[in-house]
Structure formats: structure tokens, C-alpha cells
């Protein structure tokens, strides 16, 4: 007996892994083929290069002058100079640091887009699983309705039932068939959306079972890890660092700019050459820039605090809702296994103990419970995907 139980547990684990792998295979394909991600990756590469532009010292300046003398007996004059100007040296260190931080932000922006598309794809996968399971259930219902309709067709032909009962059986079959057709249309729409995310490449997905959702037992401990993995919160932290570096850069830009070079001057019988030095003293150019950078840093810190709070409250609400849905799923499964026995209803109908309309009504309660279970499982799976959207 223990061996049988162990075997069944292992079988469930294998099936669960297969279903998970199926979703992960779809996600991996979409990450590889999604055209939006391809475009964003190229843009990220361009921005990374752009952030490294304009942070070095300016290009050197060369100047040559040839001046004709008048009267002609004084000869001509030739001047040549080459100059190199630069900001105060520490400015370039801060410019490089800001450039590195911006490039880290570029990666975080790409990650944010990647996580968003991955979450969208996972939700679509859960929609597909839902419709696959529902269509399988509706196919059984349609087959059952067809058997009832054929049975009442025979009874009507032999005069064992009246036209009203016959019509009820046919309408029951019609409703079952049309409901099945409509859900097949909706399934195809979800598969088409998955194909769109996959760069137009068709995706096949036949999963029909939702896997059990295991919520983290300690929310406060789990949320700390989720915060660290959230690219948007990390992006804001980088933005604060950039603003702080910008404060230091603006202070450095308030120091004198330096200029050094070489200059030569040639006259008839005379030549002068030597080095040149210069200073550019910023009196008004950087006015209020340091104050602005400090104010911007404070504003960004307030924004980071608000975003962290919003993130916490949003996930807390999702977590609580997921926990309630988890209980609902367990309640539906327990109720379906305990209270419904469709074989009893069929026996009662065959013996004439209940009418066809009562039989259909009784089955409608069972069908509604199955539908509600599938809807709840889908919603629970989507909530769990949102809670863990920043992890693979």
C-alpha cells in the first residue's frame, strides 16, 4: 500500500514538472522570438553607447595664421597654436560614474520590459490551460447531451415521451454544442495572441491541468526578496545615485576650467615659441545647478519611498486574495468529490423518478461548480504569476 502511495506521489510530481516545463518552454520561445524585445535590446545597446559619449575631454584646437606684411619690405608673419581645454579633473570621474549608472538603468529598463512580456505570456498560458480544460469538460457534456437527445429521439419515435420532453432534450444538446464551439473560438484567440508574442510563430499548447499554487508562508520575509528583484525599484535607486553624483559633478563644474597649449610666431628674422596657459572662471554658468541637483535628490528619495510603499500594499492585497482563492479551490474540490454523484442522477432519470428538466437542472449545479473551479484556478495561477513576476 505504501509503495502504491509513493508511486502516485512521484507520478503527480512528474506530471507537475511536465506542465511547468511546458509553460517555461513557451516562455523561453517567446523571449527568443518576441520582436518587441528584439527592438528594445537594440535600443538598449544604442543607449549604452550613447551614455558613454560626451564624457571625455574636448577635442584639441589647432590654429594657423599667415599674415601678409605691408609695406612689403617688413615681410610676412606666421602664427601657429594648438590648445587643449578641459574641465576640472574630478568632473570626468563623476561623468564616468554617472555614465555607468545610466547604463545599469538601461539594463533594468530592458529587464522591466522582459518581465512584463513574460508575465503577459504566462497569463495567456493559463488562459489556454483554462480553455483546454473547459473544452475537455464541455466535450464530455456535449457527448452526454447527445446521448440524452438520441435516447429521447427513440422514445419520441416509439411514443414513449411527448414533444415537450423531446424538445427539451434537443435544446439541451444545442446549448451544449454551441457553448463548446464558442469556447473553441476563444481558445484559438488566446493561441493567436501567444503566437503574436512569439513573433508570429505558431505555438501549440495542450496542457489541461492547473498546478497547485504554493504561496510563501511568511509574507514579510518574502516581500524583502521581491523588492530586491523588482527592476523598477532598483531603477529608482540608481536614479537617486545619479542625482547624488550630479550634485558632485555640478560642484566640480564650478571650479575653473583649464587650458594649456603650444604657440609659435614667426617674423622676418625672428621666431617666438612657447607654452600657453589659461583659466575660465565660471561665475554665472552653473548658478543654481547644485541647488537643483540637491532638490532633485530629495524628490527622488520621496518617490522611491512612495513606490516601495505602493509595491508593498499592492503585493499584500494580491497575496491575501491569492490565499482566499487557494481556500476556494480546496473547498470546490472537496465539495465536488463529496456531494456530487452523476451516476445517481442518471439512474433516477432512467427509472422515471425525476423528469428530464429536473435532470438537466440538477446537472447544471454540477456544471456550474466545475466552471467556477476552473475560473478560480485560472485566477489563482495568474495572481501567483504576478506575485512572482520578477523570478523565472
Cβ neighbours, 10 Å, residue 166: 17
pLDDT of residue 128: 96
**169 in a domain, yes or no?**
yes
pLDDT of residue 148: 85
Q: How many domains does the chain have?
A: 1
Residues 6+ apart with CB under 8 A from 33: 198, 199, 201
Is 162 in contact with 357 (CB distance < 8 Å)? no
pLDDT of residue 262: 85
Residue 288 backbone phi and psi in degrees, to 5: 70, 0
pLDDT of residue 358: 77
pLDDT of residue 134: 95
pLDDT of residue 342: 66
**266 in a domain, yes or no?**
yes
Is 372 in contact with 348 (CB distance < 8 Å)? no
Q: Residue 184 CA to chain centroid, in angstroms?
A: 27
Beta pairing partners, 259:
85, 278
pLDDT of residue 3: 43
**362 in a domain, yes or no?**
yes
Is 376 in contact with 185 (CB distance < 8 Å)? no
Edge-first strand listing for the sheet containing 257-267 = 61-67, 77-86, 257-267, 270-280
Residue 87 backbone phi and psi in degrees, to 5: -75, 175
**98 in a domain, yes or no?**
yes
Beta pairing partners, 276:
261
**392 in a domain, yes or no?**
no
**110 in a domain, yes or no?**
yes
Measured CA to CA, the distance from residue 78 to residue 162 in angstroms comes to: 120
**235 in a domain, yes or no?**
yes
CATH number of the domain that 332 lies in?
1.20.1600.10
- Segments forming the whole domain that contains residue 260: 2-387
Q: What DSSP string describes 77-107?
A: EEEEEEEEEE--THHHHHHHHHHHHHHHHHH
The pLDDT profile of the chain, 392 residues, written as one tens digit per residue, is 444 444 444 444 444 444 445 899 999 999 999 999 999 999 999 999 998 888 888 888 888 888 887 776 777 888 888 888 878 788 888 889 889 999 999 999 999 999 999 999 999 999 999 999 999 999 999 998 898 889 888 888 888 888 988 898 899 899 999 999 999 999 999 999 999 999 999 999 999 999 988 888 888 888 888 888 889 889 999 999 999 988 888 887 777 788 888 888 887 777 888 888 877 777 666 677 778 888 888 898 898 899 889 999 998 999 999 999 999 999 888 887 776 666 666 677 777 777 777 777 777 888 888 999 999 999 999 999 999 988 75
Amino acid at each position: 500500500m505504501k509503495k502504491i502511495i509513493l508511486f502516485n506521489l512521484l507520478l503527480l510530481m512528474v506530471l507537475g514538472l511536465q506542465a511547468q516545463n511546458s509553460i517555461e518552454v513557451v516562455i523561453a520561445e517567446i523571449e527568443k522570438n518576441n520582436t518587441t524585445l528584439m527592438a528594445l535590446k537594440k535600443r538598449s545597446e544604442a543607449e549604452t553607447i550613447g551614455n558613454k559619449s560626451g564624457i571625455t575631454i574636448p577635442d584639441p584646437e589647432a590654429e594657423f595664421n599667415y599674415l601678409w606684411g605691408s609695406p612689403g619690405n617688413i615681410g610676412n608673419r606666421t602664427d601657429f597654436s594648438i590648445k587643449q581645454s578641459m574641465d576640472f579633473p574630478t568632473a570626468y570621474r563623476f561623468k564616468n560614474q554617472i555614465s555607468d549608472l545610466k547604463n545599469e538603468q538601461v539594463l533594468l529598463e530592458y529587464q522591466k520590459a522582459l518581465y512584463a512580456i513574460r508575465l503577459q505570456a504566462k497569463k495567456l498560458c493559463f488562459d489556454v490551460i483554462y480553455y483546454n480544460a473547459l473544452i475537455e469538460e464541455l466535450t464530455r457534456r456535449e457527448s452526454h447531451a447527445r446521448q440524452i437527445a438520441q435516447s429521447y429521439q427513440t422514445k419520441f419515435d416509439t411514443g414513449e415521451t411527448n414533444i415537450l420532453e423531446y424538445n427539451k432534450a434537443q435544446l439541451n444538446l444545442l446549448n451544449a454544442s454551441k457553448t463548446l464551439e464558442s469556447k473553441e473560438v476563444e481558445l484559438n484567440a488566446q493561441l493567436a495572441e501567444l503566437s503574436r508574442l512569439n513573433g508570429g510563430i505558431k505555438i501549440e499548447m495542450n496542457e489541461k491541468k492547473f498546478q497547485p499554487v504554493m504561496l510563501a508562508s511568511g509574507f514579510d520575509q518574502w516581500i524583502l526578496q521581491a523588492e530586491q528583484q523588482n527592476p523598477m525599484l532598483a531603477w529608482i535607486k540608481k536614479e537617486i545615485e545619479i542625482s547624488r553624483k550630479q550634485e558632485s559633478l555640478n560642484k566640480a563644474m564650478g571650479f575653473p576650467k583649464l587650458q594649456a597649449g603650444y604657440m609659435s610666431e614667426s617674423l622676418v628674422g625672428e621666431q617666438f615659441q612657447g607654452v600657453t596657459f589659461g583659466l575660465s572662471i565660471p561665475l554665472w554658468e552653473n548658478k543654481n545647478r547644485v541647488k537643483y541637483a540637491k532638490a532633485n535628490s530629495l524628490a527622488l528619495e520621496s518617490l522611491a519611498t512612495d513606490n516601495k510603499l505602493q509595491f508593498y500594499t499592492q503585493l499584500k492585497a494580491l497575496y491575501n486574495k491569492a490565499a482566499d482563492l487557494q481556500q476556494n479551490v480546496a473547498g470546490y474540490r472537496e465539495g465536488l468529490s463529496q456531494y456530487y454523484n452523476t451516476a445517481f442522477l442518471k439512474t433516477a432519470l432512467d427509472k422515471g423518478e425525476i423528469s428530464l428538466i429536473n435532470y438537466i437542472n440538477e446537472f447544471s449545479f454540477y456544471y456550474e461548480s466545475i466552471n467556477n473551479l476552473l475560473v478560480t484556478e485560472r485566477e489563482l495561477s495568474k495572481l501567483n504569476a504576478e506575485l512572482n513576476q520578477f523570478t523565472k
